[in-house]
Amino acid sequence: MKLTQILILIVAVWSGFHSAMGQTWTQSSAPTNYWVSITGSADGSKLFAFGQSAKTPLQPQPIYFSTDGGGTWILTGAPTNYWSSIASSADGMKIVAGISGGGVGQSGLYISSDGGSSWVSNSTIPLQKWTSVASSADGSHLYAANNGLYVSTNFGSSWYSSIAGASDVAISSDGTKVIIAKGVNNAVCYSTDSGLNWITNLYVNPPFSVASSATGDVLGIISGAGGPAGTILVSTNAGNSWITNNTIGYAGFGIAISADGSDIIVAGLVSSGVLYGPLYTSTNSGLTWISNSIPRSTWYGVYCSADGNKLVAVSSGTNLTSTGFGHIWISQTTPSPQLNLTPSPTNIAISWLIPSTNFVLQQSGDLISWSNIMDTPTPNFTNLNNQLTIWPTNSSSFFRLSTP
């Protein structure tokens, strides 16, 4: 059937500038802590963070969460423990957290399926001191790394051993494309089939941290020892080639990438050999970078919303021996979501990146009167887009996104 409906797609916010321009950071109300890790839902409304004690001997720590984008923070139902890593599904309801360190027997993996209210220890995976975990957008694909990589494709019900030597892991939103740090031959490795087969020479210098866009095409790494030492590298073709910002001597523990791969944030630990590095952000897939205006600190973990307009960074403070000195900082800029049109013989799919602020799809026949479309959009977990299907009519219609 031929479509007779005419669609004009309109950007909701006429901001005229990219998300990171005019970037402003605000210290959140989270308690001071030796913060080391942060994760969250695709829209940034739900955030999860934990710290590590700077005391000797180390003390177990709780996991905090926020359901209002970082405005307020409370304790989750997770037991206090020696947490090392945490990852969230796109809706912020399925959480996986790993334990590493603190003493003999302090290892394991915990999973929450209710947004952090309750947690269960996952006994189907071998006890390890996990250094990194990752979750697909729907929470079905889980990855846990520590000198090896374990994979689950059924929400943690069962696991299989994938590859040796993994220290950090990042995945595409559907969980099938995987990048790991320090894999075979101490190099970056990449898989397109949930870790069953690997390309083992993706990059030869072992990085501190890895990150992936929703589709797994844009990859980011912070290289480790060896040359070029401490350089941020980005690939826009699934690791076939890399570009660098030539920040020799820059080192960090965290990197995060937006769903489309355009926005990237890197947590600075060291810059030019000096502790307490800056945060760096890029809005063009790593071609150029800017340093933020937050006071220099020891940044460990970063988060980026699907649309790249919400950034979160956690700090352990400016003194590695100071307990409770670090903070959680948040940058929120106004999104300008672009509507995308995908026609088929019988209908039209309208989609847009999951936004970090609320938008509703509206329809008009004359560009004067607008009405909300009440259908709830369906999240597409392969690219972190909201999607609605529209059936054609014999009249022209116009569509836009609008803040409620």
255 within 8 A of 232, measured Cβ to Cβ: yes
Mean pLDDT of 101-123: 85
298 — pLDDT class (breaks 50, 70, 90): confident
> Which pLDDT value is given to residue 326?
85
29 within 8 A of 66, measured Cβ to Cβ: no
pLDDT tens digits, residue range 335-365? 999 999 888 888 889 999 999 999 999 999 8
402 within 8 A of 359, measured Cβ to Cβ: yes
Mean pLDDT of 54-79: 89
CATH code 2.130.10.10 region(s) in the chain: 26-332
Enumerate the β-bridge partners of residue 121: 110
> Which pLDDT value is given to residue 54?
64
CA torsion, points 297, 303, 305, 308, in degrees to nearest 10? 50
**Averaged confidence pLDDT in the chain:** 85
pLDDT tens digits, residue range 273-297? 555 667 889 999 999 888 876 776 7
Q: Is the pLDDT of residue 10 over 60?
A: no
> Which pLDDT value is given to residue 341?
87
Q: Which two tokens stand for residue 335?
A: 């999104």
CA separation for the pair 4, 231 (Å, rounded): 53
- Side chain identity, residue 380: N
Q: Is the pLDDT of residue 32 over 60?
A: yes
CA separation for the pair 152, 111 (Å, rounded): 12
The CA radius of gyration of the chain, in Å to the nearest whole number, is: 21
318 — pLDDT class (breaks 50, 70, 90): low
> Which pLDDT value is given to residue 102?
59
Pairing of strands 243-244, 299-304: unpaired
Of the candidate CATH numbers 3.30.470.20, 3.30.420.40, 3.40.50.300, 2.130.10.10, the domain formed by 26-332 belongs to 2.130.10.10
